[in-house]
Structure 1
């Protein structure tokens, strides 16, 4: 594995892992009051576009990271819509 692939995998891991604590907190506490729905909707749209970009170019680090991140963001959005 070359340097650029290693760098891409590390970036993918870090940006995806950054959302895990937020999702765990929201799932555990069910508190979404301080979370901006607009921000999460815009973020999820951007991540979905990155996912499509990765699929079109066959870039597995981009596909995997953005696929997982999109799922995490959608979980928070779903809880936000349920809880208000």
Structure 2
């Protein structure tokens, strides 16, 4: 049977990395016209709640993976407003 912490770390890593290709594409192309800022904002809020939940439960895999995902999505949110009209 798989250790719960390893499962949590792998799942968190994969979901946290899922938005990196989008961020890289937006930065390379300097174009964010196809992104929805509402979706990104809702995602940031949801991920932030997961971080809070991780603190309440003292679960490092939840805290670290979701905090990283918040960071990536905040960068994407900033890029949206920088590149939305290009």
TM-score (norm 2): 0.90
Structure 1 match to 2:28: 28
Secondary structure at 1:67 match in 2: helix
1:72 maps to which residue? 72
Structure 1 position 29, deviation (Å): 1.1
In structure 1, the partner of 2:18 is 18
Give the SS at the match of 1:33. coil
Q: Deviations over 1:6-65 (max 9, x none)?
A: 110110111011111111111111110000111001010000100111112111000110
How many residue pairs end up in the alignment?
83
Gaps of 5+ in 2: none
CA distance in 2, matches of 1:55, 1:81: 31
Q: In structure 1, list runs of 5 or more residues that go unmatched.
A: none
Aligned to 2:42: 42
Distance 1:68 1:58 in 2: 17
1:81 aligns with 2:78: no
